[in-house]
Amino acid sequence: MTTQFPVTNGNLPVGEGDGRTYEAGTDKPLLEIRDLEVSFNTSEGVVHAVRGADITVYPGQSVAIVGESGSGKSTTAHAVIDLLPGTGKVTGGSIKFDGREIVGLPRTEMEAMRGRDIGLVPQDPMSNLNPVWRIGTQIEEALKANGFEGGKRERKDRVAGLLQEAGLPDAERRARQYPHEFSGGMRQRSLIAIGLASRPKLLIADEPTSALDVTVQRQILDHLEVLTQELGTAVLFITHDLGLAAERAEHLVVMFKGRVVESGPARQILANPQHPYTQRLVASAPSLASRRIQVAHERGQESDELLAPDLDATVPRVERGAAPADIVVAKNLTKVFTIRGGRPGASADFKAVDDVSFTLKRGHTLALVGESGSGKSTAANMVLGLLEPTSGVVEFDGTDIASLSTKEAFAFRRRIQPVFQNPYGSLDPTYSIYRSIEEPLALHRVGSKKAREKRVRELLDLVSLPQSAMRRFPNELSGGQRQRIAIARALALQPEVVVLDEAVSALDVLVQAQILDLLGDLQRELGLSYLFITHDLAVVRQIADSVVVMQTGKVVEQATTDEVFDNPREQYTRDLLAAIPGAGLEGVAIAG
């Protein structure tokens, strides 16, 4: 057994606070990537995903590769463990592990290295465990494959030990369960147990927590950090989140379009980014943005001024007349789902939303914040009139939407439009962009065919897309472009309220920043009101005027954005705030 642990190098300087620091040259590198080139054969020819990357990892060191999707960061990591997807191939350069060249190693030798020398913690905990095998069995496999000595009993004990170590209590019982009985966080812990099962010298963590809620994310990363430090495992951390990378790794490697554009100690890069791309990345990292908070402040004040005449009944507004200032009022909303049980009479009630009240003012942005399962999306669906509340009332512009007739409800839908999280799923792949945007107009019989085409062109201008995009199809556009299309479609009918359900969560930070800017501009130009649903408090600070924090269906805190950030009242809100990656690094960025 002991042979499976790496020999801890006693003379390595293990610093306090700053993490572990290493001088190049005092030690032989564990992983040495030189001039790595990886390309994929696609129907449109050869795509060079990585072009000449150099990365060095010393034993016990933690290195993070940062970049947006398509930057080649994951491809580099998968090349190291020889698990490139599809037609991916290393076409040049070398990867040396422990002084041994591993590019072109025979399959069986590579199989022997995987798990034992190089471990992997993959990105999405939902899809990375085989649903048909027990958790324990899947960890046992890793032990058996890497020459674990000992019988069945010892193996079972070891599995329980590994799960315990990864932070799962009651490990022996947990090992007998199946993946679907685990939450996302528990699955990710199991995957960490698998990755570390045979004590590899290098652990590749590929966006290990990007699919998890922020508070869970923090716990798991803390745990992973402690564990790898104890075991002396080197970590190659892949992430799109600069704040997260700076917080978790000593050394940063920034990748852009397949190239390493900058590399150095984390704090140095953060404080003094050299490459223009890194500078942009530092500037728009939501967790580090300080400039834009001011913008939000300004906008908040502006809106207040605009609204002042409304509140004062004696001075009616020119455009909106005596319209109430509160456009959406949710009163004591409750939604109960009945879960069917296995036997007669065994069905159970599940309260997804429990007595939730909030008010969205005209021209304002209200953020509903919470982790998955907090009921925020259910609440939004009730506001949209897509779900009927079990009890409670949604008032839109002073009218209870439940009281609307079918015809009135149809008209109501024009005034409130949604934009959903997944820009890949919410556009019909067989519809051209033109048809997607025109569809709501045609459905509501707005104008002639010619007028509609003019409107589509206007809308494309509004979301800063070229008019030529009209004739293209969703699969020809990037995620950010698709989200712009979804916004254009939502705006087609000139709604007063737009419900943005995690509308920027699936986007890279730079794109996310662009979309948030666009939303801000549109709000000012068109006087829109936003109901912004998100799990990401960092985004909230950039866009919202007031915040409703939800937990397990209930409202735990409700205040203006500034109050929530400067002076959170509830423990849960404080946990959420503390969990924003890079929250503790703010000083560094501002100083730089």
Partner 1 sequence: MLWYLGRRLLQVIPVFLGATLLLYALVFLRPGDPVAGLGGERGLPEAVQAQIREQYNLNEPFIVQYLLFLKGVFTLDFGIDFRGQEIMDVIAAALPVTFQLAIMALVIEAVFGIVFGLIAGMRKGGWFDGTVLVISLLVISVPTFVIGFVLQFVMGVKLGWFPVTVGRDPNFYSLLLPAIVLAATSFAYVLRLTRTSVAENLSADYVRTARAKGLRRTQVTGRHVLRNSLIPVVTFLGADLGNLMGGAIVTEGIFNINGVGGTLYQAIIRGENVTVVSLTTVLVIVYILANLLVDLLYAALDPRIRYA
What's the half-sphere exposure (Cβ side, CA atoms, 13 Å) at 555?
Answer: 18
| E-only strand ranges, 370-490 | 391-396, 399-400, 416-419
| Shorter beta-carbon distance to partner 1: residue 143 or 244 | 143
Q: Out of 103, 145, 522, 559, which residue is the one contacting partner 1 (CB under 8 A)?
A: 145
Q: What distances in angstroms separate CA 592 from CA 276, 282, 536, one per listed residue? A: 15, 10, 25
Q: Which tokens hold the place of 421?
A: 């999280």
Q: Out of 38, 55, 79, 120, which residue is the one contacting partner 1 (CB under 8 A)?
A: 120
Cα–Cα distance for residue pair 44/253, rounded to 1 Å: 30
553 φψ region: left (φ > 0), alpha (ψ -120 to 50), beta (else): left
Q: Out of 62, 76, 146, 287, which residue is the one contacting partner 1 (CB under 8 A)?
A: 146
Cα–Cα distance for residue pair 301/364, rounded to 1 Å: 11
Task: Indicate whether 236 belongs to the interface with partner 1 (CB under 8 A).
Answer: no
- Residue 111's SS3 state is helix
Q: CB 167 → partner 1: shortest distance, Å?
A: 19
| Shorter beta-carbon distance to partner 1: residue 87 or 399 | 87
| Shorter beta-carbon distance to partner 1: residue 180 or 574 | 180
Which amino acid is residue 8, in one-letter code? T
Cα–Cα distance for residue pair 565/296, rounded to 1 Å: 13
| Shorter beta-carbon distance to partner 1: residue 116 or 455 | 116
Q: Please identify, among the stretches 14-22, 335-343, 374-382, 443-451, the one whose residues bind partner 1 according to the rule CB under 8 A.
A: 335-343
Task: Indicate whether 5 belongs to the interface with partner 1 (CB under 8 A).
Answer: no
Task: Indicate whether 87 belongs to the interface with partner 1 (CB under 8 A).
Answer: no
Q: Out of 30, 81, 270, 427, which residue is the one contacting partner 1 (CB under 8 A)?
A: 81
Cα–Cα distance for residue pair 345/375, rounded to 1 Å: 26
Number of residues that bind partner 1 (CB under 8 A): 39
- Residue 235's SS3 state is strand
| Shorter beta-carbon distance to partner 1: residue 146 or 558 | 146
Task: Indicate whether 135 belongs to the interface with partner 1 (CB under 8 A).
Answer: no
| Shorter beta-carbon distance to partner 1: residue 210 or 272 | 210
Give the β-pairing of 234-239 and 202-206.
parallel
Q: Out of 124, 355, 575, 586, which residue is the one contacting partner 1 (CB under 8 A)?
A: 124
Q: Show contacts with partner 1 in window 96-115 (CB under 8 A).
A: 107-108, 111-115
Residue 83 contacts by C-beta under 8 Å, 6 or more apart in sequence?
A: 114, 120
* Residue among 32, 50, 151 at smallest CA distance from 100: 32
Site string for partner 1, 33-72 (x = CB under 8 A): ----------------------------------------
Task: Indicate whether 197 belongs to the interface with partner 1 (CB under 8 A).
Answer: yes
Site string for partner 1, 164-193 (x = CB under 8 A): --------------x-x----------x--
Q: CB 152 → partner 1: shortest distance, Å?
A: 17
| Shorter beta-carbon distance to partner 1: residue 85 or 466 | 85
- Residue 420's SS3 state is coil
Q: What distances in angstroms separate CA 201 from CA 4, 22, 376, 588, one per listed residue? A: 10, 16, 42, 31
Cα–Cα distance for residue pair 398/581, rounded to 1 Å: 40
Q: Interface with partner 1 by CB under 8 A: which residues?
A: 81, 83, 85-86, 107-108, 111-116, 119-120, 122-124, 127-134, 141-142, 145-146, 178, 180, 191, 194-195, 197-198, 341-343
